[in-house]
Amino acid sequence: MPQVSCQLRQFLYGRLRTTLLRTAHDSPTLLAANRLLQRCKRTLRCKTREGFDSRGSRTTAPKLHRYAWEDLTLADTDGNTSGVTGLIVADANGKCLATLGTGDDKRLKAIVSNKEWLEEASSRRLGTILLVDRQYTFLLSKVDGGYLILLSEPPTDTVLQFLLHVDFAYDIIDHVLTDPYDAMAIVDDKARVAFISPVHEKFLGLQPGEGIGKKVRDVIENSRLHHVVRTGVAEVGQVHRMKGRDRIVSRHPIRHDGKIVGAIGRIMFKGPQQVEALSRRINQLEQEIASYRAKTRNEAQEEKILDAIVGQSPAIQSVREQIRKIAPLDIPVLIQGESGTGKELVAQALHRLSPRRDGRLVTVNAAALPEKLVESELFGYEPGSFTGADSKGRAGKFEMADKGTIFLDEIGDMPLEVQSKLLRVLQDRMVERVGGEKPKRVDFRLCSATNRDLEDFVEQGGFRLDLFYRISPVVIMMPTLDERLEDIPLLLNYFVGELAVQYNRSVPEIDIDVINHLKERSWPGNVRQLRHTVERAFVFAENNRLTVENFRDHAAPAAQKSRASEPSRADAPSSLLKNTLDELEMKLINDTLVRFKGNEKRAAEHLGVSPSYLYKKLRGLT
């Protein structure tokens, strides 16, 4: 075993110290070399003989002793070998000048003597050496005239994979340790500072390496790293106050072979402001996600609302597309179409898809408004304003529709006197209750419907031109059922399913001939007539099956009835007109009752008659 003089040891220690100072900017080398320096400082010493005091001061001429390399271990104070296990100092050609610990392995010397390996290793600076029975991690640093190679114990599989496959592993570690936005501090198992990142040293007012070896509580104000070392419990997201500033930090214990060997503290955020900024950003993202979800829900709800307008014909698809475009706009809409085409469904869709969806949709049958009570119905009245008035007063239709939509159905049949009063409300958006003194501003959207050609009606003098312009900036034309016969199969299935639920019966089968039969018929009553026809057939269907006979027996076309009566019309009695009017009135009452599912009060209101009159007519029908 070779013997080494004290002077060589002193030279080696000085060389290590010089390397440490020269590589102060190189954080991985700084960390490893500084730790080696601290250990070597305890081992690279000469024994004193007589003539040396306890401090090493010479009292007489010294006699330097020679020591074997076995005396120069890299063990810690507890005798456990960890971290740096060896050292090789080589010249520029790879010749080993000095070795220490595991660096004395002949195989390692042979590898280091390979100049190509040295050049590759010097470019990587950090890597692994794999032998048959051992593994080493090396840190190579160039020094004047040669290389300093520090060897460490075998790494974990994760670290080994990292070093083997990442050629710039050293640069990554250097970035992590010197990142100006990610300060860190590392302590050993005795809670002594082992490393402080340069940005953190600068903040603490320390020179490079000044805090190393000192107790962390003496270096970092209010530190709890010693507590983490003692308990082994991590602390994440804690507020750490240093020099009058708050920092958000995380502290984690570091374990090796199940034993706590130290702890690391890192500043996550430079202050609560950054946490608040992150929180605001998260809230913003959550709001965007909520917005997208709401948009998706609205689109699904929109489709559900529009699905109530059954059909896939080009005509009905055009109506749906117009509703999508018009609904979000707070603009009056006039819906024109024959009776039974579904104008009220369009009005409901316009309201439910509009920004006023949370308000009320108030429906007014304009044709049924009594002329003497039109003001009280539309504008409301104060208590005691006229005989028979409610003692609490009553809000009018326009007040009820405030922040919502008012739907004026059959507006083409509105009397001219009522039209002038309506025009004033549409112009001023002000209503004054009957018997009241203070006008009230109302905010509503107007939606109107008629089965008349209002332009022709204006020319005939039956409708005010100025009111027509007020109610019809946008017009939606409803197609007749004869214009969309291809929708009959969908309408038939829809009505049958709806009736099955209404009458708590199973959905019947439908003969294929039924659809052709329905398409060949004329439908002057449009979709409403089809619905009533299907309902009658549904009621009389047998064996849970709808056949053509069910429709033929209960749906004789009105034209056939007219033709059957023509031969005797010349000799008809004078009561024929009265009978025809009675039949028409009975049919209208029956259709209205079906529409409102037997609700006599709503049917009477829709027909513009009193409930008692409707009751008498129904008694007469039975």
pLDDT over 80 at 518, yes or no: yes
Name which residue leads in pLDDT, 405 or 378: 405
Tokens 């109302």 found at: 442
Which helix (DSSP H) or strand (DSSP E) does residue 152 occupy? strand 146-152
Highest mean pLDDT among 409-418, 430-439, 495-504: 495-504
pLDDT over 50 at 193, yes or no: yes
* pLDDT for the residue 530: 92
Pairing label, strands 193-196, 184-188 = antiparallel
* pLDDT for the residue 32: 53
* Cβ count within 10 A of residue 608: 14
- Alpha carbons 227 and 220: distance in angstroms, whole number: 13
Name which residue leads in pLDDT, 566 or 164: 164
Going from the C-alpha of 123 to that of each of 119, 168, 279, 282, 487, the distances in angstroms are 6, 9, 43, 42, 78
* pLDDT for the residue 158: 80
520-542: average pLDDT: 90
Beta carbons of 170 and 28 less than 8 angstroms apart: yes
- Alpha carbons 519 and 482: distance in angstroms, whole number: 8
Beta carbons of 58 and 48 less than 8 angstroms apart: no
* pLDDT for the residue 34: 57
- Alpha carbons 448 and 472: distance in angstroms, whole number: 8
Tokens 């699904």 found at: 300
Name which residue leads in pLDDT, 581 or 108: 108
Which helix (DSSP H) or strand (DSSP E) does residue 130 occupy? strand 126-130
pLDDT over 90 at 83, yes or no: no
Name which residue leads in pLDDT, 143 or 37: 143
pLDDT classification of 562: cutoffs 50, 70, 90: very low
* pLDDT for the residue 468: 93
Question: With pLDDT > 70 as the criterion, what percentage of the chain qualifies?
Answer: 77
Q: Which of 130-139, 178-187, 294-303, 505-514 has the lowest mean pLDDT?
A: 294-303
The DSSP line for 230-271 is: HH---EEEEEEEETTEEEEEEEEEEEETTEEEEEEEEEEESS
Name which residue leads in pLDDT, 35 or 470: 470
pLDDT classification of 186: cutoffs 50, 70, 90: very high
Q: Is 441 left (phi over 0), alpha (psi -120 to 50) or beta?
A: beta
Which helix (DSSP H) or strand (DSSP E) does residue 185 occupy? strand 184-188
- Alpha carbons 354 and 350: distance in angstroms, whole number: 6
pLDDT over 90 at 395, yes or no: no
Tokens read off for 536:
């009658």
pLDDT classification of 13: cutoffs 50, 70, 90: low
Name which residue leads in pLDDT, 9 or 275: 275
**CA nearest neighbour of 128 among 99, 176, 81, 167:** 167
pLDDT classification of 333: cutoffs 50, 70, 90: very high
556-583: average pLDDT: 49
Beta carbons of 184 and 155 less than 8 angstroms apart: no
Going from the C-alpha of 277 to that of each of 238, 246, 272, 273, 287, the distances in angstroms are 17, 15, 8, 6, 15
- Alpha carbons 406 and 429: distance in angstroms, whole number: 13
Residues 437-446: tens digit of each pLDDT: 788 899 999 9
* pLDDT for the residue 500: 92
* pLDDT for the residue 371: 67
pLDDT over 60 at 89, yes or no: yes
Beta carbons of 608 and 365 less than 8 angstroms apart: yes
pLDDT classification of 276: cutoffs 50, 70, 90: low
pLDDT classification of 313: cutoffs 50, 70, 90: very high
For the beta sheet containing 184-188, the strands, ordered from the edge strand earlier in sequence to the opposite edge, are 193-196, 184-188, 259-269, 245-256, 235-242
Q: What angle do CA 468, 473, 474 make, to 5 degrees?
A: 115
- Under DSSP, the state recorded for 215 is B
* pLDDT for the residue 61: 33
pLDDT over 70 at 51, yes or no: no
302-320: average pLDDT: 88
* pLDDT for the residue 7: 44
Classify each residue of 159-168 as buried b or exposed e, where b means 16 or more C-beta atoms within 10 Å of its C-beta.
Answer: eeebbeeeee
* Cβ count within 10 A of residue 68: 10
- Alpha carbons 88 and 120: distance in angstroms, whole number: 17
145-161: average pLDDT: 79
Q: Is 461 left (phi over 0), alpha (psi -120 to 50) or beta?
A: left
* pLDDT for the residue 558: 43
- Alpha carbons 413 and 410: distance in angstroms, whole number: 6
Q: Which of 131-145, 490-504, 548-562 has the lowest mean pLDDT?
A: 548-562
**CA nearest neighbour of 274 among 219, 237, 321:** 237
pLDDT classification of 568: cutoffs 50, 70, 90: very low
Could you tell me the pTM of the whole model? 0.48
* pLDDT for the residue 389: 67
HSE-CB at 153 with a 13 A cutoff on CA atoms is 9
Name which residue leads in pLDDT, 580 or 490: 490
**CA nearest neighbour of 139 among 22, 29, 38:** 29
* pLDDT for the residue 606: 78
- Residues forming a β-bridge with 430: 441
Residues 229-252: tens digit of each pLDDT: 999 999 987 888 888 777 788 899
* pLDDT for the residue 450: 92
Q: Which of 267-281, 465-479, 525-539 has the lowest mean pLDDT?
A: 267-281
Residues 362-390: tens digit of each pLDDT: 998 887 777 677 778 888 888 867 766 67
pLDDT classification of 607: cutoffs 50, 70, 90: confident
- Alpha carbons 337 and 476: distance in angstroms, whole number: 8
Beta carbons of 453 and 468 less than 8 angstroms apart: no
Q: What is the mean pLDDT of the chain?
A: 78
Is 38 exposed, middle or buried (CB count within 10 Å of its CB: 0-12, 13-18, 19+)? middle
* pLDDT for the residue 343: 92
Beta carbons of 450 and 411 less than 8 angstroms apart: yes
**The total number of residues written for the chain in this structure:** 622
- Under DSSP, the state recorded for 336 is E
